[in-house]
Amino acid sequence: MSYYLPETVDCNGDTFKVFITKEEIEARVSLLGKKLDKDFEGKRPIFIGILNGAFIFLADIMRSVSIPCEVDFMKLSSYGDEKVSSGQVTELKEIDAKVKGRHVVLVEDIVDTGLSMKYIVERMNSYDPASVSVVTLLHKKDATKHEVQIDYVGFEIPTKFVLGYGLDFAQEGRNLAQIYVLDSEQES
């Protein structure tokens, strides 16, 4: 399989540079998979991917665990076409799985202010699951405005706009196989 791995990429008029490489992502995802295997052994968790951004991370996480598990999806509105959060959460697709009494693992691409994840965790808890855990590939800890417990983090990153590996900028860039940051933001 070949991957789209440019050094820089022009997306909607901005130039982005490599920030987290494919190798770094693979190593981290593999480690997270091992932790999940250990923590959820015998629990048959349901991984719930938050669309659209988490689709690639979810696919890799699922393939890095070896315990019996299930998958489902929920879809929320994203940033729209901007580089800053709209401050509003809109649910575009509900989960189909029955999660009452089950161990739920929410899989997100990035937690920024925490608004979306707080909403999702509260929504999941209303279904009375056995447990709710959160795994995110990226976490902008300094951007936190809404406190939410995150159990597994791929990478803590500064408050900068990133794309690639499922994350978009105005719907472009999701097919990049690594994470990119705005060229002008990388050194600051």
Residues that bind ligand 5GP (CB under 6 A): 53, 78-79, 85, 108-117, 161-163, 167-169
How near is the Cβ of 186 to ligand 5GP at its closest, in Å?
Answer: 13
Measured from the CB atom, the residue of 60 and 112 that comes closer to ligand 5GP is 112
What is the spatial distance between Cα 143 and Cα 114, in angstroms, rounded to a whole number?
8
Tell me how far, at minimum, the Cβ of 92 lies from ligand 5GP, in Å: 12
Residues 179, 164 contacting (CB under 8 angstroms):
yes
What contacts 66, CB < 8 A, 6 or more positions away? 33, 37
Q: Is the CB of residue 127 less than 8 Å from the CB of residue 99?
A: yes
Beta bridge partners of 182: 16
DSSP annotation of 169 reads B
Look up 142 and say whether it is catalytic: no
The single-letter DSSP state of residue 50 is E
Closer Cβ to ligand 5GP, 11 or 67, answer by number: 11
CB of 76 to ligand 5GP, least distance (A): 7
Structure tokens at 97: 């799985």
Catalytic residue among 112, 128, 151, 183: 112
Minimum CB distance to ligand 5GP smaller for 37 or for 113: 113
The catalytic site residues sit at 112
